[in-house]
Amino acid sequence: MSASGSRTPLGLVVAVVEVLAVVATAATLVLLFTNEPEAPAAAPAADAGAGGGGAVDGAAVYAAQCATCHAADGSGGIGPALAGGAVVAAFPDEADQVQVVAEGRGGMPSFGDRLSPEEIDAVVEYTRSL
Amino acid sequence: MAGATIESEQSRGTGIAAGVFLAGAATAVLLGTYGRVHDPTGETALTAFFSGQLQFKVWAATLAVLFAVAQLVSALRMYGRFRTPAPPWLGDIHRLTGTLAFVCTLPVAYHCLWSIGFDTEVGVDRVFVHSVAGCLFYGAFVVKVSAVRIHRIGWVLPAVGGTVFTLLVVLWFTSSFWFFTTFDGALR
């Protein structure tokens, strides 16, 4: 902390940045407790699409729910890679993959309360085609 | 009389130091608790102009480390570790780089806590170390920011500053470095 009483231009910049940092910190804390995912709105929105499997657009569900961790092209990130047959190798039985998506496992969150069974089926089918 | 005054000052200093450390510990525990009990959303929070959430996060964390290195160098100079004397504006630069480093970590931590959460069932691996270091980082940061304003406990500031820097480097190695060395084709 600067002990000097007079404020230089640089000191003024620092003070402004510090105030903005406090505001950003407060905003972050507020968002942590108030920003909830739009699960109810996202579920019906996926029903209208085509592709993936059946009436639900698996690609759209994947982009909205999975791409953050598994990357847009399924090459992996926080979560493991799915593309190139990786997920098929990990889950030869599709039902096992559906169960993991619905119930979660390890660092993988559960999507059973966020996606309909049709959406889970569609996104699982989509990932197996990557 | 003078002895009693010194003893009282020491006692007060110890009490303040204890309070500061308790505040830091509470911050770390609260963040860990939030990450554990909050249902991870698994959603993207902010990508800025990057191709994905992870790309944004790893570069923001890298920028935070660069600012932190600048802060470390300026701190060493202010503490007389270099032969050249510190210019009068160095204190402001030190504060500015530290603040910017902290701001860079905010969107990263937000996505970690809000979207991914703190999974304690994965064992002691990279993700676990990263999660613990993240909670400790903000706890140590609270201690540092408080210690800056309490000049009487002089040894605390460099000690906690070094701890904050070390934790940030650990966070970077367990996230950005891992990402850069694992996904070298997806850096933007």
Q: Could you report the per-residue pLDDT of B54-63, keeping only the tens digit for each?
A: 889 999 999 9
C-alpha closest to that of B91 among A2, A39, A13, A101: A2
* Most confident by average pLDDT, A26-40, A57-71, B75-89, B165-179: B165-179
pLDDT tens, position by position, B18-50: 888 999 999 999 999 999 888 888 777 888 888
**Interval B125-135 mean pLDDT:** 90
Query: Is B188 within a domain?
Result: no
Taking the Cβ of residue A79 and every Cβ of chain B, the question of whether any pair is shorter than 8 Å is answered with no
pTM above 0.80, yes or no: no
All residues of chain A having their beta carbon less than 8 Å from the beta carbon of residue B103 are: 17, 20-21, 24
Taking the Cβ of residue A84 and every Cβ of chain B, the question of whether any pair is shorter than 8 Å is answered with no
Whether the Cβ atoms of residue A91 and residue A97 lie closer than 8 Å to each other: yes
| Domain A39-127, CATH number (from 3.40.50.970, 2.40.50.140, 1.10.760.10, 1.20.120.610) | 1.10.760.10
Q: Spell out the domain ranges in chain A.
A: 7-36, 39-127
- What pLDDT sits at residue A27? 96
Range A68-102 burial, b when 16+ CB lie within 10 A, else e = bbbbeebbbbbbbbbbeebbeeebeeeeebbbbbb
State the complex-level ipTM.
0.85
**Domain of residue B40, residue span:** 2-182
Domain count of chain B? 1
Taking the Cβ of residue B105 and every Cβ of chain A, the question of whether any pair is shorter than 8 Å is answered with no
Query: Is B101 within a domain?
Result: yes
C-alpha closest to that of B172 among B71, B63, B61: B61
All residues of chain A having their beta carbon less than 8 Å from the beta carbon of residue B131 are: none
Whether the Cβ atoms of residue B143 and residue B160 lie closer than 8 Å to each other: yes
Q: Hey, are the CB atoms on A66 and B42 less than 8 Å from each other?
A: yes
pLDDT averaged over consecutive 10-residue blocks of chain A (130 residues)? 65 94 95 76 40 67 82 78 86 88 76 85 91
Whether the Cβ atoms of residue B97 and residue B69 lie closer than 8 Å to each other: no
**Interval B5-12 mean pLDDT:** 70
The nearest alpha carbon in chain A to B181 belongs to A77
* Tokens at B147, concatenated: 């210690």
Q: Hey, are the CB atoms on A28 and B42 less than 8 Å from each other?
A: no
Query: Is B187 within a domain?
Result: no
3-state secondary structure B103-146: HHHHHHHHHHHHHHCCCCCCCCCHHHHHHHHHHHHHHHHHHHHH
Residue of A10, A71, A114 lying closest to B89 (CB–CB): A10
Confidence check: pLDDT of B106 > 70: yes
